[in-house]
Amino acid sequence: MIGVGLATSTDNDTDTDTDTAGERATDTVGRLRDGMARGVLSFPLTSFHADGSLDEDGFRAHLAVQLASGPGAVFPACGTGEFFSLDEDEYRAVVTAAVEETAGRVPVVAGVGYGWAQAARFARVAEEAGADALLVLPHYLVAAPQDGLVAQLEALAARTRLPLIAYQRGPVAYSPDALRRIARVPGVVGLKDGHGDLDRLQRLTLAAPEGFLFFNGASTAELQARAYAAVGVPAYSSAVHAFAPEIANAFFAALRDGDDGTTTALLRDFYGPLAGIRDRVPGYAVSLVKAAARLRGRPVGPVRAPLTDPSPADLAELRALLGTGLAVVGATP
């Protein structure tokens, strides 16, 4: 059974707390596994007003649309949700709103990150808000050896009751040996891969214990979904789900059902061109998603600096591409 790390306690009922936390972690892992098989993993946008302040009502409305389309799990306040720009109060509001709106229908996995001390503080906030698990986002600017990557997860796991999913991207890339080590840390239950190095990923899946969760977190993950599935990682996150769940769900169903015609059509006519626009400007991986959501009338607002909204030319191209993608799946704009 996969356990979970606990904060230090001097209470006489520590053993009972440990058992309860372990049972909750096992239940969460089971729900995540079921959700990954059932639908895409949704990373909702964080809504802001025109002046840049948090728009909690807008976030709730946006999330309601996501939930109505049947995702396998919801990951608020992560990369697509501009975690890096949220202060602690805003983070608490976003995670609390996600838990309340989800109401137990699917797991809520909140993002935490930066150094372990700040990650531990945000982990406490997420736990108090009722999140089911945590996605440990890559740290910024600092390069670290494998021992340091393992130590960070050990330190965080010791300070939260929530299961942890590690995220390798940018400066964070686990070796097979480090993967085996983090998988032994009580509470570390899975890995999101954002590198897209399938040779390395295959080595990690072979090093992992049975039941360890993996999912594809590459940018525009659908472009590599076939290849990830071939190495035993069929689950993936979908940024497109944040603005066009009809397209995201149609692709997921086509891939699952072996409908190569629909899969190829969407890759050729929608996902490939979308990635082409995304790659033009740093930060478009988030900015384009928000812009597309606004094009569909979602109350998500602008991005926060240093991200910038798309140029008028790119926005016009995005509008046309969105219409093409919706037409492929027989949906209306």
- For residue 93, give the CATH number of its domain: 3.20.20.70
Catalytic-role residue among 192, 228, 271, 290:
192
Residue 167 is among the residues annotated as catalytic for this protein: yes
Is residue 29 one of the residues assigned to a domain? yes
Please, what is the average pLDDT of the chain?
93
Q: Does the structure show a pLDDT above 90 at 309?
A: yes
* The pairing of beta strand 188-193 with beta strand 41-42: unpaired
Q: What does the pLDDT average to over 52-56?
A: 98
d(CA 301, CA 318): 17
Q: Would 311 be classed as within a structural domain?
A: no
Mean pLDDT calculated for residue range 107-116: 94
Asked if 192 is an active-site residue, the reply is: yes
pLDDT band of residue 7 (cuts 50, 70, 90) is very low
pLDDT at 225: 98
Give whole-number Cα distances, 257 to 126, 228, 250, 287, 330, in Å: 36, 16, 10, 32, 18
Convert the pLDDT of each residue in 122-138 to its tens digit. 999 999 999 999 999 99
Cα gap 47→301, rounded to integer Å: 6
pTM, full prediction:
0.92
More confident site: 2 or 41: 41
Q: Is 48 part of a structural domain of the chain?
A: yes
Per-residue pLDDT band for 38 (boundaries 50, 70, 90) equals very high
Looking at the structure of the chain, the number of domains it has is 1
Contacts of 193 (CB under 8 A, 6+ apart): 168, 169, 201, 204, 214, 215, 216, 217, 218, 228, 233
- 257 domain residue, yes or no: no
- Residue 328 lies inside a defined structural domain of this protein: no
Range of the domain at 184: 14-245
Q: Which tens digits make up the pLDDT trace of 267-283?
A: 999 999 999 999 999 99
Q: 91, 114, 140, 167: which is the annotated catalytic residue? A: 167
Which amino acid is present at 113? G
> What does the pLDDT look like over 185-209, one tens digit per residue?
999 999 999 999 999 999 999 999 9
Q: Residue 63: inside a domain, yes or no?
A: yes
- How many residues are recorded in the chain? 333
- On whether residue 303 sits in a domain, the answer given is no
In this structure, are residues 285 and 239 in contact, taking their beta carbons and an 8 Å threshold? yes
Q: Does residue 323 form part of some domain? A: no
- Contact (Cβ atoms closer than 8 angstroms) between residue 304 and residue 81: no
> What pLDDT, in 10s, does the model give residues 57-80?
999 999 999 999 999 999 999 999
